Amino acid sequence: MRTATDFSPLYRSFIGFDHLAGLIDKASRADKQPSYPPYNVELLAEDQYRITMAIAGFAEQELDIESKQDTLIVTGTKSASDSNKERKYLHQGIADRNFERKFQLGEHVKVIGAFIEHGLLSIDLEREIPEALKPRKIAINGKSLLQQRNANVIEKN
């Protein structure tokens, strides 16, 4: 049994974060998350990530990677082949089915590229923080810039 979390105390203190409740609720629905294909999420450097998915049996043309808004969608669609229908398996442990896997991306996280190697699909991601949002150092000059500007204006007049 899953208990619902009450976020109303947070809404009183944090303005504009109401979308986080939806994200937390979506993440808590682990029972509805597909387990195929298995994947890893790696932190390569401070702002660089890699998602690696085990996609054995899929050709490059059967895969589709799409990034829209803050969601990365990886889709695998097996081509309908008659040779698979004719096979009679004694044991089938290799999944041969279509899939769609969605990843919620953080702010300013962009997909850099993707490659397939040894049955693994790797997708590289990077967080690119705009210059306006990066922290900056403020120099201490002894006089404020406003005082210096006002002094320059007075001297010109």
* CATH number of the domain enclosing 144: 2.60.40.790
- Domain tally, the chain: 1
The answer to whether residue 16 is domain-embedded is: no
109 phi and psi angles, rounded to 5 deg: -90, 125
**C-beta neighbour count of 55 within 10 angstroms:** 23
The answer to whether residue 142 is domain-embedded is: yes
Domain that holds residue 142: 35-81+89-156
Query: Helix or strand or coil: residue 35?
Result: coil
Q: What is the pLDDT of residue 50?
A: 94
Walk along the chain (157 residues) in steps of 10 and give the mean pLDDT of each run. 61 60 63 78 91 90 91 87 70 84 88 93 90 78 70 71
The answer to whether residue 3 is domain-embedded is: no
The answer to whether residue 117 is domain-embedded is: yes
The answer to whether residue 12 is domain-embedded is: no
pTM of the model: 0.65
